[in-house]
A and B are shown apart, each in its own frame.
Chain A
Amino acid sequence: MLIQAKDLPFRELNRQINAAGEQSVTLQGVMGQRFIASGLKGKDVEINGIPGNALGAYLDGAHITVRGNAQDATGDTMNEGSIRIYGRSGDATGYAMRGGSIYVQGDSGYRAGIHMKAYSAKYPVLVIGGAAGSFLGEYLAGGVIIVLGIGHEAEGKAPVGYFTGTGMYGGKIFLRSAHVPHDLPPQVDVREAAAQDREEAYAHVAQYCAYFGGDPHQLMEHRLLVLTPSEESSYKQLYCAQ
């Protein structure tokens, strides 16, 4: 089903998406409407144009494809489903997501993957094809973030901004990078990816290539770093009872 989104206010646009009888919904001419597919389940939504902030917040199983760039807070607190973005994404992508996956073809803004968490069978995956901004994976509690740095290989630095993984206490960040970020906080351990890590990363890289093209084997022929919380990262040492 095709919805002409041009000039539709977000509330009406969402109403039409929810009311659509068909599983598959294509939006044409999206021009910055916010809150698209908030809490949506059981539908495939293709977005042509530029969706506004908070795309797919609390997403509950729907699959979203964006043919363009996404703005801020994509997939906030998403529970299940997938979002793939044929472009770049703004700030706070995948904030507090608990399940499902977000694949960004290009770069992502600040604060991507902050406080993602895993639970039981739910394991959130955030893959950023290009570079990520500062505060990547801050407070990370679970799930996996992969930054591929495609096109940033020659920059002489890791494809991330400042303060990667600050306050991280769970989960894992893969950086396809020849360089270790220069300002990793003490609570983050960094190591070379072992065979098992590479196997785990490969599955997501292959999915990235299936969406956006490219050769996963070739991409994986590169230095791959793994960031995990250090044992000393515990918050337990912080307090004493009064």
Chain B
Amino acid sequence: MPKDYIYPEFEIVRNEGRCTVCRRCEEQCANRAHAFDAATSRMTAEDARCVDCHRCVAMCPAHALKIVQSSHTFRPGANWTRDAITDIHRQAGSGGALLTSMGTPKDYPVYWDKLLINASQVTNPSIDPLREPMETKVFLGQKHTHIQRDESGRICTELHPQITLATPILFSAMSYGSLSYNAHESLARAAQELGICYNSGEGGLHEDLYHYGPNTIVQVASGRFGVHPGYLKAGAAIEIKMGQGAKPGIGGHLPAEKVMGDVSRTRMIPQGTEAISPAPHHDIYSIEDLRQLVYTLKEATDYKKPIIVKIAAVHNISAIASGVARSGADIIAIDGFRGGTGAAPARIRDNVGIPIELALASVDARLREEGIRGSISIIAGGSIRNSADVVRAIALGADAVYIATGALLAMGCHLCRSCHLGRCNWGIATQLPELVSRLDPEEGKRRLVNLITAWTYEIKEMMGGMGINSIEALKGNRLMLRGIGLTQKELDILGVLHAGE
């Protein structure tokens, strides 16, 4: 239908003077945007197929390619933008809900960028992390708030189970199925080398990755895919997924075509069947019910594993978090609405939830007010982009942060937001063997280790600048932050003063 024709968003620009017709672009593009025209012996391009993933650009030995945003335009308008118009054309043609991937590209405030970090001058000397020891190790789990003694007056030394992290960063949940095996193995190897944890996501744990267990968090979501007692015992902790920042309030769906071979075996569902995760856990309609799931998991694992409850940042987040803290959970993970996803309805991703900065600050404040902050650790996620974001999150009250988009970028993702198409040219969000093999798990690991090592050094440098030599002393230390260009209400919620105050 001509009415449905949408002019391509990107144009593939080929420098014909440089192109040697080696056809590598054609070989590399799983979307078949490039083709060889035998009649003219030249390469041709189909712009409509291009998702702007830069694979061809990066692989072109002659540097003959670039991708540019099309200058083709509707009559410009601030209200009816290109996206607003083409979304309607797509939906009028298909009748479908719009599906997309990764974090929202919409122009919402990024509060990280409006929080400035302190440094010492004169009175409280800064510390050089190259010369002096800096502690970035964290323990996640319930902490005792009182000393307990037995009948004979001896101090009880039994601690709640903890996750130990060498640096306050974890790779957040991305399921095998949404990610390739090689991407999962890269994360697992990197987590082991770094002394941190990655998260299996809700698709079960591939049998070959069980030996990374001490660095693995296994997830239990509403679909319960691949969940069995051996799986629960395999990891360092168990995460109950109640929600995800990119799609609060809705479930998940791995399409049947991705449920093949090892993905089917790992999820423990037949090949070629849809993997539906319902929106709610149908056995959890209250905090009391959540407590029940927490305790079945503790009973099934002999109280040896901390239980994480992951929730999306939504309007009443602090009241919900207060309930979660009383459910027996050891750790709460809060996922802000800018967080990524392998597939989500666009309207949900772009409109539902709240930013992690506000959610985190409000949860930390509420738990302190209620005197239960020590009974639970907080992991904050949902678009942590660099080490300064990590420092800000910890100063706002997080014990550690979850990163996922950053980890994918480290492995080669170029953020084309097309994971849901299943043809990731970088071998990350695909199950096609010829694409998966493009990501070498050893190289993926090396790049992830590089990233986290660099961030950890930067965190130490910023801590040192503040005169702080232990990450624990930064936690909830909001005096180390000042707002810039924020309203009084925003400053109140974040619990920080304005710059200059």
**Cβ–Cβ contact A14 & B283, under 8 A:** no
Residues of A in contact (CB 8 Å), total 47
Say yes or no for B17: interface residue by CB 8 A criterion. Answer: no
CB distance from B78 to the nearest CB of A (A): 21
Contacts of B292 in A (CB 8 A): 34-35, 53-54, 73
Contacts of A53 in B (CB 8 A): 292
Contacts of A77 in B (CB 8 A): 220, 224, 227-228
Say yes or no for B87: interface residue by CB 8 A criterion. Answer: yes
CB distance from B275 to the nearest CB of A (A): 8
Say yes or no for A41: interface residue by CB 8 A criterion. Answer: yes
- Assuming the contacts A54-B296, A92-B283, asked whether A239 and B96 have C-beta atoms less than 8 A apart, the reply is yes
Say yes or no for A138: interface residue by CB 8 A criterion. Answer: yes
Contacts of B220 in A (CB 8 A): 77
Residues of B in contact (CB 8 Å), total 43
With beta carbons under 8 angstroms apart, the residue of A35, A92, A122, A234 that contacts B296 is A35
Say yes or no for B232: interface residue by CB 8 A criterion. Answer: yes
CB distance from B409 to the nearest CB of A (A): 21
Q: Which of B229, B303, B420 has the most CB of A within 10 A?
A: B229
CB distance from B427 to the nearest CB of A (A): 20
CB distance from A119 to the nearest CB of B (A): 4
CA gap between A95 and B223 in the complex, in Å: 10
- Identify the closest chain B residue to A117 (Cβ): B269
Contacts of B269 in A (CB 8 A): 117, 119, 141-142
CA gap between A177 and B487 in the complex, in Å: 65
Say yes or no for B492: interface residue by CB 8 A criterion. Answer: no
Q: Which of B224, B227, B345, B346 has the most CB of A within 10 A?
A: B224
Say yes or no for B412: interface residue by CB 8 A criterion. Answer: no
Say yes or no for B13: interface residue by CB 8 A criterion. Answer: no
Say yes or no for B454: interface residue by CB 8 A criterion. Answer: no
**Cβ–Cβ contact B276 & A237, under 8 A:** no
**Cβ–Cβ contact A72 & B96, under 8 A:** no
CA gap between A73 and B93 in the complex, in Å: 44
- Identify the closest chain B residue to A60 (Cβ): B229
**Cβ–Cβ contact B282 & A79, under 8 A:** no
With beta carbons under 8 angstroms apart, the residue of B93, B98, B303 that contacts A242 is B98
- Assuming the contacts A122-B268, A138-B282, A240-B96, asked whether A39 and B232 have C-beta atoms less than 8 A apart, the reply is yes
**Cβ–Cβ contact B420 & A96, under 8 A:** no
With beta carbons under 8 angstroms apart, the residue of A35, A38, A92 that contacts B282 is A92
Say yes or no for B326: interface residue by CB 8 A criterion. Answer: no
Q: Interface code B334-348, partner A: CB below 8 Å = 1, 0 otherwise?
A: 000000000001100
CA gap between A53 and B288 in the complex, in Å: 11
Contacts of B232 in A (CB 8 A): 39, 58
Contacts of B98 in A (CB 8 A): 239-242
With beta carbons under 8 angstroms apart, the residue of A41, A111, A236 that contacts B255 is A236
Q: Interface code B273-284, partner A: CB below 8 Å = 1, 0 otherwise?
A: 110101000110
Say yes or no for B137: interface residue by CB 8 A criterion. Answer: no
**Cβ–Cβ contact A38 & B100, under 8 A:** no
CB distance from B228 to the nearest CB of A (A): 4
Say yes or no for A174: interface residue by CB 8 A criterion. Answer: no
**Cβ–Cβ contact A98 & B228, under 8 A:** yes
Contacts of B229 in A (CB 8 A): 39, 41, 58, 60, 79
A207-242 contacts to B, CB under 8 A, are 234-242
CA gap between A238 and B255 in the complex, in Å: 11
Contacts of B296 in A (CB 8 A): 35, 38, 54, 57-58, 73, 76
CA gap between A185 and B17 in the complex, in Å: 62
CA gap between A58 and B301 in the complex, in Å: 11
**Cβ–Cβ contact B274 & A235, under 8 A:** yes
Say yes or no for A87: interface residue by CB 8 A criterion. Answer: no
**Cβ–Cβ contact B97 & A58, under 8 A:** no
Contacts of A239 in B (CB 8 A): 96-99, 345
**Cβ–Cβ contact A170 & B97, under 8 A:** no
Say yes or no for A157: interface residue by CB 8 A criterion. Answer: no
Contacts of B299 in A (CB 8 A): 10-11, 14, 35, 38-39, 57
- Assuming the contacts A57-B300, A169-B276, A240-B94, asked whether A34 and B346 have C-beta atoms less than 8 A apart, the reply is no
**Cβ–Cβ contact A60 & B228, under 8 A:** yes
Say yes or no for A205: interface residue by CB 8 A criterion. Answer: no
Q: Which of B99, B292, B421 has the most CB of A within 10 A?
A: B292
The 6 closest A-B pairs by CB, nearest first: A240-B96, A39-B300, A38-B299, A240-B94, A57-B296, A96-B224
